[in-house]
A and B are shown apart, each in its own frame.
Chain A
Amino acid sequence: MYSKLAFGNVKKSMKDFTVYFLTLTFGVCLFYVFNSIGSQEAMLKINESQKSIIEMLQMAISSLSVFIAVILGFLVIYANRFLIKRRKKELGLYLCLGMDKRQVSKVLIIETLFIGVFALAAGLLAGVFLSQGLAAVTAKMFMVEMKEFTFVFSGEAFIKTIIYFAVIFLIVMIFNTFSISKVKVIELLTANKKNEALKVKKLGVSVVLFLISVVCIGFAYHCIRENGMMQTDDQFWMSIIFGTIGTFLFFLSLSGFFLRILKTNKKFYYRKLNMFILRQINSKITTTFVSMTLLCLMLLVAIGVFSTGAGLATTMGRDMKKATPYDVSYVKYFPEDEKNSEVKTDMRKEFKSKGIDMNKFVDKSCMISTRLYEKLKFKIFLNGRDKLVDYPKGVKASMEKSSPEIIGLSDYNEAMRKQGKQTISLKSDEYAVNCNFENMRKLWEDVCKDRVEIKMGGKALTAKSSMIDSTYYSASALPMDMGTLIVPDDVAKKIPVHTVVYNCQLKGDAEENTHKLSKLMESVYPNKTMEERNKAPYHTAIYKVEMIEQSAGLSTVITYIAIYIGAVFLITCAAVLALQQLSENSDNVERYNLLRKIGADERMINHAMLAQIVIYFMVPLSLALVHSYIGVKVASNVISTLGNVNAFNGILASGGAILVIYGGYMLATYLGSKAVIKDKNR
């Protein structure tokens, strides 16, 4: 009997439930797909190190999922509260007919169960199929082949999804029962007649608040730009706090402010339904500014995560070839206060003494050393050129105090020869600059053009007029040479050694030999503890093959996590906005009917509705876009310390995603509202 009633209710109010249902399904689907990533490796041809990356990804997503579940849980409870609010009269009728509160909440529980079970089933079904497609994407991102197609089903993810959502629905049921047990029948029955006590604020106050909010937000932007997101200091927190307060005040005062401004334009204000539209939005935003603030901040996170994630992923994949001219590099570091300027380390000999014959693997090799001259700081080069480097002040300040690497001419040329590249020549009073780090390029080019003079080893040197952008140093994931000075050998000999690098090109099948060599090295020089690491003749071993694998793996991890968080945040926001609009439709039906009676035609009414929906959706998005523009710009500076970033692709990708998801919800809201307020008589 109760289930019949509940089922009838769900069927009857399908229109209201559609957005809710689809959002739930979408959430379940995302949840399953991302949690099933671990089991996709069955379809991919991957090796051990890639496997461990996938495991890491799986772990990361697993712990993220708890957070995501909390977000989705809030969404479900929020949505549910709206649906209950809409049906107060119906619930009141049940109570009037003599059902007791426990029975009414039973009906609600069965309803929640119905929707929950259906959404779960639909979401899981969609998720299982979608995860097959995701395997192909994963393969592409890892740059590996796919094995033959096998149908992947992750029992673990399946059960996990069910458990998480079961908990969410359980909480919803408890919540419903609780809210029903509190209400009075008379309140339920007259719920839709009750005039909402409008909080009317003086419009003048809004103007003042609006100006304060703009100042707050501006100050927050200023703080974050100064701070550069490099460290979490006071300035960083100031930016977060002022940003949040500013956003809050912005929504609190926004509609009042615009109403005030537009009211002065009588021609606009008293035109068709403009007055009605503005007042409606004003009353809506002044009652929902708290959730507006939250939505805006969530959208900021979604957009920020989307675009920086995508930017980071594209950065990591690029420039790999250029950055790794060697198959293997072994690097030994010397402490910064090292006084010794003579190179005593010979890694090849040390390896041989432990029984590793490098001749078996190596085709060509070179051993080079870089040096550090304490008295020479970046300050010399930065002076008067700091506009050419796009870093926040704090970073520039600490950079001024550091010294650039120095390499002797013959070492540099040796490295170039082994790479098959052109060598360079220097006059005895010259130095050259090598730099392949995008953010520093302009600075060094200018230094070379100005032929800046430096003093080193008791000698004055002038810069050679053209900059070089090769990679000489070692294998690395990114072009990381922030600027190296190439100096004549007699000068170099007087400067303390900083690193010794042993670079090798391998014979035959480089990939196979890399694995053999890395295994061998690890067995002779285990590097689990600090002590062990200090004993070995090198501190870091960089293998090109592993580097590429890891880099591809890392960019996959970042991208997936970005998409996961971004997508969930985005649908949550869009769904909340849509539900807020749709749940008000019952009130709006009355208003639109009145407008119709006093002679507004359908076009005016549809226009008024569309304008409200669009403005309501766009207001939090617009502010979030401005916020994230600043945020992403600062963040891309951080990323560019890792390599040059091209956030454009990321922004394009996130723009597309937002357009599709957000636009979809907006359209659904419009169509849903249109159907509800449609004139029944015509």
Chain B
Amino acid sequence: MKTVLQVQNMEKYYGNKGNVTKAVDGISFDVEKGEYIGIMGASGSGKTTLLNCISTIDRVTSGYIYIDGMDVTKLKGKHLSKFRREQLGFIFQDFNLLDTLTAYENIALALTIMKTPAKEIDDRVKSIAEKLMITKELSKYPYQLSGGQKQRVASARAMVTDPTLILADEPTGALDSKSARMLLDSMETMNAELHATILMVTHDAFTASYCKRILFIKDGKIFNELVRGRDSRKEFFDRIIEVVTLLGGDSTNVF
């Protein structure tokens, strides 16, 4: 399997002299093509910072991030935008759809920014919409959609450009449990049928149980790693809960 993402000894410090916060403190891991990897951790553990650095929205203090063999920490300006629109797809917690555009146009926007020929756009938008079961919603505006539908539109936007890596930041964070389940099913489809490589940040064990592998982060460091293997989702979920208990309830610290 081809390695899609390679993070090497990445560090991200905030603050100035005398008061340094090590948000990410020397993390290294690899992601293969077609993987569905989750990153878990408590608030403030550094998982969002890690995601931001991978998504090139933030800059690393030291270390390297290779996506598809390219060192993204060295990219600047125009190349950065080009890289982002061609290699990455984003799913955000608060959907981040443009409220002035219809669902169709929101999905198409990712393609128009890439300067995709107008002829191709219609087919690509419609085929991804069909797979994510939002064909009926295409002509609606975001304010006419439910949270789950919005998030599936956002997923379609992330998928439609056929990116190397999809980054999802707490995608179920703003959804009720039913919508969350539907979205996670959709994402599973994306991974299984469309062979999308997904990296998802979450602090919810149920959401994480859909992943194939989970990295646990604590205070900027990798704390543990779980691989689902042949486990059912229920079994995997129980194992995650165990680690989470350990992660949150480090008895020597509390008492």
Interface residues on B, range: 35 or more
Query: Is A275's beta carbon under 8 Å from chain B?
Result: yes
Query: Is A530's beta carbon under 8 Å from chain B?
Result: no
- Tell whether, in the assembled complex, residue A276 and residue B98 are in contact, meaning their CB atoms are under 8 Å apart: yes
| B83-124 contacts to A (CB < 8 Å) | 83-86, 88, 90, 96, 98-101, 105, 108-116, 118-119, 121-122
- Tell whether, in the assembled complex, residue A599 and residue B113 are in contact, meaning their CB atoms are under 8 Å apart: yes
- Tell whether, in the assembled complex, residue A601 and residue B81 are in contact, meaning their CB atoms are under 8 Å apart: yes
Q: What are the residues of chain B within 8 A of A594 when measuring CB–CB?
A: 96, 98
- We find that the number of chain A residues with CB closer than 8 angstroms to chain B is 34
Query: Is B55's beta carbon under 8 Å from chain A?
Result: yes
- Tell whether, in the assembled complex, residue A272 and residue B113 are in contact, meaning their CB atoms are under 8 Å apart: yes
Give the dominant DSSP class at B's interface. Answer: helix
- Tell whether, in the assembled complex, residue B59 and residue A681 are in contact, meaning their CB atoms are under 8 Å apart: yes
A682 vs B100: C-alpha distance in the bound complex, in angstroms?
27
Q: Which residue of chain A is the closest to B59 with respect to CB atoms?
A: A681
A280 vs B112: C-alpha distance in the bound complex, in angstroms?
16
Q: What are the residues of chain A within 8 A of B157 when measuring CB–CB?
A: 598
Q: What are the residues of chain B within 8 A of A595 when measuring CB–CB?
A: 109, 113
A603 vs B79: C-alpha distance in the bound complex, in angstroms?
12
- Tell whether, in the assembled complex, residue A598 and residue B108 are in contact, meaning their CB atoms are under 8 Å apart: no
Q: What are the residues of chain A within 8 A of B142 when measuring CB–CB?
A: 195
- Tell whether, in the assembled complex, residue A599 and residue B88 are in contact, meaning their CB atoms are under 8 Å apart: yes
Give the dominant DSSP class at A's interface. Answer: helix
- Tell whether, in the assembled complex, residue B81 and residue A271 are in contact, meaning their CB atoms are under 8 Å apart: no
Query: Is B178's beta carbon under 8 Å from chain A?
Result: no
- Tell whether, in the assembled complex, residue B82 and residue A270 are in contact, meaning their CB atoms are under 8 Å apart: no
- Tell whether, in the assembled complex, residue A279 and residue B100 are in contact, meaning their CB atoms are under 8 Å apart: yes
Q: What are the residues of chain B within 8 A of A196 when measuring CB–CB?
A: 99
User: Taking A271-B115, A272-B115, A282-B100 as contacts, is the C-beta distance between A598 and B59 under 8 angstroms?
Assistant: no
Query: Is B2's beta carbon under 8 Å from chain A?
Result: no
| B121-136 contacts to A (CB < 8 Å) | 121-122
A596 vs B81: C-alpha distance in the bound complex, in angstroms?
7
- Tell whether, in the assembled complex, residue B105 and residue A279 are in contact, meaning their CB atoms are under 8 Å apart: yes
Q: What are the residues of chain A within 8 A of B115 when measuring CB–CB?
A: 271-272
Query: Is B141's beta carbon under 8 Å from chain A?
Result: yes
Residue A195 contacts which of B84, B118, B143 (CB distance < 8 angstroms)? Answer: B143
Q: Which residue of chain A is the closest to B140 with respect to CB atoms?
A: A200
| B47-86 contacts to A (CB < 8 Å) | 55, 57-59, 77-78, 80-86
A459 vs B57: C-alpha distance in the bound complex, in angstroms?
99
Q: What are the residues of chain B within 8 A of A270 when measuring CB–CB?
A: 108, 111-112, 116, 118, 121
Residue B141 contacts which of A198, A596, A600, A604 (CB distance < 8 angstroms)? Answer: A198
State the Cβ distance, A617 to closest chain B Cβ, in Å.
19
Q: What are the residues of chain A within 8 A of B58 when measuring CB–CB?
A: 681
A294 vs B181: C-alpha distance in the bound complex, in angstroms?
51
- Tell whether, in the assembled complex, residue A601 and residue B108 are in contact, meaning their CB atoms are under 8 Å apart: no
- Tell whether, in the assembled complex, residue A283 and residue B57 are in contact, meaning their CB atoms are under 8 Å apart: no
Residue B85 contacts which of A200, A266, A276, A600 (CB distance < 8 angstroms)? Answer: A600
Q: What are the residues of chain B within 8 A of A276 when measuring CB–CB?
A: 98, 100-101, 109
| A560-588 contacts to B (CB < 8 Å) | none
Query: Is A267's beta carbon under 8 Å from chain B?
Result: yes
Query: Is A591's beta carbon under 8 Å from chain B?
Result: yes
Query: Is A197's beta carbon under 8 Å from chain B?
Result: yes
- Tell whether, in the assembled complex, residue B143 and residue A273 are in contact, meaning their CB atoms are under 8 Å apart: no
Residue A598 contacts which of B77, B85, B116 (CB distance < 8 angstroms)? Answer: B85
- Tell whether, in the assembled complex, residue B112 and residue A597 are in contact, meaning their CB atoms are under 8 Å apart: no
- Tell whether, in the assembled complex, residue B82 and residue A599 are in contact, meaning their CB atoms are under 8 Å apart: yes
Query: When each residue 158-200 of chain B gets 1 if its CB lies under 8 Å from chain A and 0 otherwise, what string results?
Result: 0000000000000000000000000000000000000000000
In the complex, given contacts A266-B121, A591-B98, A681-B57, what are 5 additional A-B residue pairs having Cβ atoms less than 8 angstroms apart? Answer: A271-B112, A280-B100, A283-B100, A590-B96, A598-B157
- Chain A to chain B contacts (Cβ below 8 Å), 10 pairs: A274-B112, A276-B98, A276-B109, A280-B100, A596-B81, A599-B84, A601-B82, A602-B77, A604-B81, A604-B113
**A interface residue numbers (CB < 8 A to B):** 195-198, 200, 266-267, 269-276, 279-280, 282-283, 590-591, 594-604, 681-682
